């Protein structure tokens, strides 16, 4: 990296950093899943920076980060897990997390208390996610963990959307609590912790999500668009009602009802949105 004259670089967060009190972090040796669970995951993908009330955003805030894949060369030796728990060791470093800086300097991390909120490490029995939307009756009320969180998005009401890029658990894990239909969703997380526990928004579809972005019209109606990982499609989700810019709590479950569309592109350059409502054969 070449840093222009007049600028400086500080490392804020690294794979293997300790994120819980008493954790030692990665120190160069192979570790158990119990150890990796308490430290930062790797292969960061999507992220978003959230301001904190009363804190200069140039000096402190919350950074939400996705961890997409395990660091295989760190976790495994010759593709064999040292601790004979390959599924568990591969699961711990993927998912997402938050860390915060309340120092006012912009250079010191704080990963305790409200600033940390959750260390959203994937597929660990400690971290249970609500299931919202139409598929909750099939998936169940909760799901254990997240899986292969790729890129992300930010809602107009100030929540973080992290996208599960896999809908099938590629790691060996016999745990029946981790059925495949629990993964492949967009997960909404409130970094401030006031809108309830993180939730998988099933109305937005189950597939290999890459990222998500929102647009808003003059009436505060919102639409989210995103791309599916190869073979890719572009999707659009329109909630059933507009968001309320004056009452954040009113938007807590906005993404649980709405209509999902997929884009169809024609050879002449035209296209249309096709509704993906169950039973629609268009």
DSSP string covering 145-172: ----EEEEEE-TTS-EEEEE--SS--S-
Whole-number pLDDT of residue 11: 79
C-alpha triplet 91, 94, 100: angle, nearest 5°? 135
User: What tokens does 279 get?
Assistant: 């039973």
Q: How large a percentage of the chain has pLDDT more than 90?
A: 26
Residue 173's pLDDT band (cuts 50, 70, 90): low
C-alpha triplet 171, 174, 176: angle, nearest 5°? 115
Query: Is residue 22 over pLDDT 70?
Result: yes
Residue 50 CA, chain-centre distance (Å), reads 14
Residue bearing the bigger pLDDT, 132 or 150:
132
Q: Yes or no: say if 157 and 224 are a contact pair by the CB < 8 Å rule.
A: no
**Cα end-to-end span (Å), the chain:** 50
Cα separation, 126 vs 133, whole angstroms: 23
Cα separation, 243 vs 156, whole angstroms: 8
Torsion of CA 193, 197, 203, 204, to 10 degrees: 50
Whole-number pLDDT of residue 247: 96
Query: Is residue 281 over pLDDT 50?
Result: yes
Closest C-alpha among 131, 201, 123 to residue 169:
123
Cα separation, 92 vs 28, whole angstroms: 17
pTM above 0.85, yes or no: no
Q: How large a percentage of the chain has pLDDT more than 70?
A: 73
Cα separation, 84 vs 107, whole angstroms: 38
């Amino acid at each position: 990296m070449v840093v222009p004259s007049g600028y400086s670089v500080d490392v804020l967060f690294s794979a293997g950093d300790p994120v819980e009190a008493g954790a030692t972090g990665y120190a160069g040796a192979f570790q158990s899943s119990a150890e990796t669970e308490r430290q930062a995951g790797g292969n960061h993908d999507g992220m978003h920076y959230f301001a904190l009330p009363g804190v200069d955003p140039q000096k402190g805030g919350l950074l939400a980060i996705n961890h997409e894949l395990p660091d295989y060369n760190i976790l495994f030796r010759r593709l064999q897990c040292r601790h004979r728990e390959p599924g568990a060791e591969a699961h711990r470093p993927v998912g997402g997390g938050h860390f915060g800086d309340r120092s006012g300097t912009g250079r010191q991390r704080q990963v305790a208390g409200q600033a940390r909120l959750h260390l959203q490490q994937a597929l660990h029995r400690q971290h249970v996610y609500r299931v919202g939307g139409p598929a909750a009756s099939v998936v169940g009320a909760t799901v254990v963990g997240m899986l292969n969180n790729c890129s992300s998005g930010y809602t107009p009401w100030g929540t973080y959307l992290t996208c599960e890029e896999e809908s099938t658990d590629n790691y060996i894990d016999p745990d029946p609590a981790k059925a495949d239909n629990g993964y492949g969703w967009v997960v909404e997380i409130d970094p401030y912790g006031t809108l309830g526990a993180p939730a998988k928004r099933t109305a937005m579809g189950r597939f290999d999500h890459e990222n998500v972005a929102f647009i808003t019209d003059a009436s505060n109606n919102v639409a989210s668009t995103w791309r599916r990982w190869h073979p890719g499609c572009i999707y659009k989700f329109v909630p059933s009602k507009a968001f309320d810019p004056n009452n954040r709590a009113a938007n807590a479950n906005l993404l649980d009802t709405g209509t999902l569309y997929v884009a169809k592109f024609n050879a002449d350059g035209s296209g249309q949105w096709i509704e993906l409502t169950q039973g629609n054969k268009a």
